Structure 1
Amino acid sequence: MNPSIQAKPYEHTTPQKVAFIGLGVMGYPMAGHLAQAGHQVTVYNRNPAKAEQWSAQFKHEWAATPALAAAQADIVMACVGNDDDLRAIFLGPDGALAGMKAGTLFIDHTTASAEVARELGDLASSKGASFIDAPISGGQAGAQKGVLSIMCGGKAEDMERARPLMMTYAQACTLMGPLGSGQLCKMVNQIAVVGLLQGLAEAMAFGERAGLDMEQALSVLTKGAARSWQMETKGPTMLARDFQPGFTVNWMLKDLDLVKQEALRNGALLPGTALIQEQFAKIAEQGHRDMDISTLFKLLARPSKAT
């Protein structure tokens, strides 16, 4: 089996005509789960070689433009990089909106701003289509295993239509409120993630410098009050100095900038998050922009004995 997707039991749902735009480390397996669940999937990717690869693996069609992919679908999904990428695949004569007919539902899995969700949602509505912002959490491994967590913004009736498809690659999807609410909840998620990661990195570095057997310490700590997904997942890789992504420093910097801009709008005070954002900026300046966010440990830890 191709390592980009793992087997998952799928609930029976009526097959849908779906377009999936964006076949990165997340989108590729997510679209694969849709295909394996029995939906008719047409994909688009900016690099057509990746679309051809996906098509050959899953035996479904690929399209040359987002508009052509959307024209064949009742539900269009996207998972791209940022606000600009989202606008690029949504707008213009070759964009998804141009190919969408009245009644189409657009589900956006990009981690983007709440502002762009509302903007594109209004444009979709003017064409008689619907829009849900649905950023995801769980990383590449979660996408491959089909166990993502999805936080959504939009209308309840659109959510019920979207839920069966999203559950092919998720373990939970929740409507948080109107358009933009999914993106706001993802920002809350990222604030919590970096806080936990900073604490973990400091704890691991402190324990090493104190002379503890940190593998043994982790086995104890993960059974107590300090236990977290970050500790169980990133603790061992920090100790091993294994910083392969994962979720990159570059993408987290993008997400934290979204958080910063939203905090300026709503008046939230985020002193800890601001300091951690500076830490990630230092890591990027050191050339680790494309490494996993657990590279935060490098700023605090002694060099590996191997080096």
Structure 2
Amino acid sequence: MKLAFIGLGVMGFPMAAHLQQAGHQVCVYNRSPEKAAAWAESNGGSHALTPAAAAKDADMVMVCVGNDDDVRSVVYGEEGVLAGMKAGALLVDHTTTSAILAEELAAAAAKLDLRFIDAPVSGGQLGAENGALTIMVGGTEADVAEASPVLAAYGKKVTRLGPVGSGQRCKMVNQIFVIGAVQGIAEGLMIAQKAGLDIPTLIDVLGGGAAQSWQLQNRAQTMSEDKFDFGFAAQWMHKDLGICLDEAEQQGLTLPLTEHVHKVYEQLLADGFGRCDSTVVIKDLVAKAK
């Protein structure tokens, strides 16, 4: 298929590469033209200077940028992807955004005889590089069925959750589950370290029981060693939790844990830890323990 991929960050760069390697004809766009040119040189695809030019004649257009406003900046306007897409083409948004934006984009696409699905991902940079992402999709059954074989190039699991917006709401639940595990591990490590327990042994023991989780297996050791120069940035988790809280407010819900951790990230960002892995929340507990 002829595809376009908009946004070549730590996730988008390898995701677009997997599409090209799967035999598709991929044209990319990035706000930094040099990065798009480098992608094309290393992967054999092409690049364009505007989102509209990248999307021209594409059967599907994937977007993977930072937040709601970033999505709008590459989708709308004379140089946006909607202006370049051919009738009947499918727009796929991999960005983690609000469900409201997903519904907005679906309506905007429909007015132009285009189709839309929201498809946020989980698995981080490593999952993108290995082609092993979990993709949570909202859209019609027909549109998701059409997109799934293509998304399988970088998704080990592609699942439709319901109509447009459902993928984003599933991603919200994912992020709440993740920070719940991370906060719990951080607090547990405070006791473990204070008591002088051997952390590798602790992780091995707990990994065989009900406390087992991806976060425990992949992040507890680095948290205990004060290592955070990798992974999913705290600034992005702060953004994602803000989306969760906005959705909760719209549904008339209160999320105490999410509210607490969102405030912790807010302070960590103010202290200069925004680019650190999201497990940096343990620094808040360490500081309070002094």
SS in 1 for 2:39: helix
Corresponding position of 2:181: 196
Corresponding position of 1:6: none
Residue 231 of structure 2: which of 229, 240, 246 is its match?
A: 246
Matches within 5 A, 1:96-175: 96-175=81-160
Q: Please, what TM-score do these two structures have when normalized by structure 1?
A: 0.92
Distance of 1:83 and 1:178 partners within structure 2: 19
Unpaired segments of 5 or more residues in structure 2?
A: none
State the 1:285 CA deviation: 1.9
Distance of 1:178 and 1:263 partners within structure 2: 19
Distance of 2:15 and 2:53 partners within structure 1: 20
Distance of 2:229 and 2:5 partners within structure 1: 27
Distance of 2:144 and 2:108 partners within structure 1: 18
Letter of the 1:71 partner, please give it: K
Residue 26 of structure 1: which of 4, 11, 28 is its match?
A: 11
In the comparison of the two structures, how many residue pairs are matched?
A: 288
Letter of the 1:287 partner, please give it: G
CA RMSD of aligned residues (A): 1.2
State the 1:206 CA deviation: 1.2
Matches within 5 A, 1:209-288: 209-288=194-273
Distance of 2:285 and 2:208 partners within structure 1: 25
State the 1:119 CA deviation: 0.7
Residue 76 of structure 1: which of 58, 61, 81 is its match?
A: 61
Letter of the 1:142 partner, please give it: G
State the 1:223 CA deviation: 1.1
Distance of 2:113 and 2:38 partners within structure 1: 33
Matches within 5 A, 1:58-73: 58-73=43-58
Distance of 2:48 and 2:213 partners within structure 1: 41
Per-residue CA deviation, residues 100-129 of structure 1 (Å, 9 max, x unaligned), is 111100000000011111111111111111
Distance of 1:245 and 1:278 partners within structure 2: 22
Per-residue CA deviation, residues 194-242 of structure 1 (Å, 9 max, x unaligned), is 1110001111121001111112111111111111001001112112221
Corresponding position of 2:279: 294
Distance of 1:250 and 1:101 partners within structure 2: 35
Distance of 1:64 and 1:252 partners within structure 2: 30
Matches within 5 A, 1:28-43: 28-43=13-28
> Is the Cα–Cα contact under 8 Å of residues 19 and 72 in structure 1 kept in the other structure?
no
Corresponding position of 1:11: none
Distance of 1:266 and 1:244 partners within structure 2: 36
> Does residue 179 in structure 1 map to residue 164 in structure 2?
yes
SS in 2 for 1:149: strand
Percent of aligned pairs with the same residue? 49
Distance of 1:226 and 1:234 partners within structure 2: 13
After superposing on structure 2, the runs of 4+ consecutive aligned residues of structure 1 that deviate more than 4 Å are none
Distance of 1:285 and 1:88 partners within structure 2: 26
Distance of 1:66 and 1:88 partners within structure 2: 10
